[in-house]
Amino acid sequence: MENSNSRRNAMKKIVGGAATVATAGLIASRIDAADIGMGSELKGKINHSVCRWCYDSVPLDALCKSAKDIGLASIELLKPEEFETVKKHGLSCAMVSSTSKDWGIVKGWNKKEHHEGLEKWHKYLIDETAKAGFTNLICFSGNRDSAIDDEQGMKNCAEGLKRILSYAESKKVVLVMELLNSKVDHKDYMCDHTKWGVDLCKMIGSANFKLLYDIYHMQIMEGDVIRTIKENQQYIAHYHTGGVPGRHEIDETQELYYPSIMKAIADTGFKGFVAQEFIPARKDKLASLKQGVGICDV
């Protein structure tokens, strides 16, 4: 009887010890999962960038230092006067901004009356982009404003962009039109579906005009993200991220599984950049950026 009790006590200790080890392992795995992307030792299949405007409360110099620590190669959507700061830190600008007080998302290439002003503005930006040694310059279709249908808007965009494409080609600059949602964030924006953007690429027929596929925006408008990326990758120059719904962190708090999306992008042979463009909801914004980069580093 005494021996039996001893055996039972010994078994309890063994089981208890095993449970403690298992629990510790589970806790450790959760900590590791929450702390992915530590340091700058990234895998190299994805070129990582971050959109400046999401961290505009952080001085650009400080953001550059944090970006380097995380392993980013670029801070983007910068204006020419900000180029020297990122270059000083050994960073690039993977997508140059083209918004100004006169031009931007709402007022773009889909209306002929804008073409002359946009041509002058974009030629200046093409010069500055090339001078800095950067490649991609963002552009926008503009809003419909109920004044123009999508077919005519596409023709107008093609006509306007062709006015500057040979100039962009001569400077080795790619004009990249962003796909945005017109359901939540950018009411009435015309380039709001991948098919419209791809049809515009085909109409223009230049390797120096491509699309910025914003995963957040296109999940809202059409979903089917991975298949769409695979079928249209030759027209895509750049990607943006963002959690759906809310445009916050891209972790388990939202509906998309970004590791699978990033794997699909890498599998297409894509050599461009993926930029984090979510608005951090947490107090430690740079920790959220670090986490987002880690999630995307497949």
State pLDDT tens for residues 54-67.
Answer: 999 999 999 999 99
The candidate with the shortest Cα–Cα distance to 59, out of 285, 291, 293, is: 285
Q: What is the DSSP string of 69-93?
A: HHT--EEESB-GGGHHHHHHTT-B-
178's enclosing H/E stretch is: strand 174-178
Q: What pTM did the predictor assign?
A: 0.87
- Beta-carbon contacts of 29 under 8 Å, excluding residues fewer than 6 positions away, are none
**Residue-wise pLDDT tens digits, 103-135:** 999 999 999 999 999 999 999 999 999 999 999
Segments making up each domain of the chain, as ranges: 1-34, 40-296
Cross-strand pairs, 143: 189
Under CATH, what is the fold of the domain 40-296?
A: TIM Barrel (3.20.20)
Residue 176 identity (one-letter amino acid):
V
Q: Which residues of 53-82 are buried (b: 16+ CB within 10 A; e: fewer)?
A: ebbeebebeebbebbeebbbbbbbbbebeb
Q: How far is CA 174 from CA 160, 248, 283, in A?
A: 15, 29, 36
How much is the pLDDT for 41? 84
Work out the average pLDDT over 80-94: 98
**Residue-wise pLDDT tens digits, 177-226:** 999 999 999 999 999 999 999 999 999 999 999 999 999 999 999 999 99
Is the torsion defined by CA of 152, 153, 156, 157 positive or negative? negative
Instruction: Show the tokens assigned to 174.
Output: 């790619």
Residues 239, 228 contacting (CB under 8 angstroms)? no
Q: Token pair 């015309």 is at which residue?
A: 190
**Residue-wise pLDDT tens digits, 248-294:** 999 999 999 999 999 999 999 999 999 999 999 999 999 999 999 99
Strand, helix or coil for residue 141: coil
Work out the average pLDDT over 90-108: 97
Q: Token pair 């972790």 is at which residue?
A: 251
Alpha-carbon distance of 54 to 277, in angstroms, equals 6
How much is the pLDDT for 40? 54
Q: Distance from first CA to last CA of the chain, Å, rounded?
A: 58
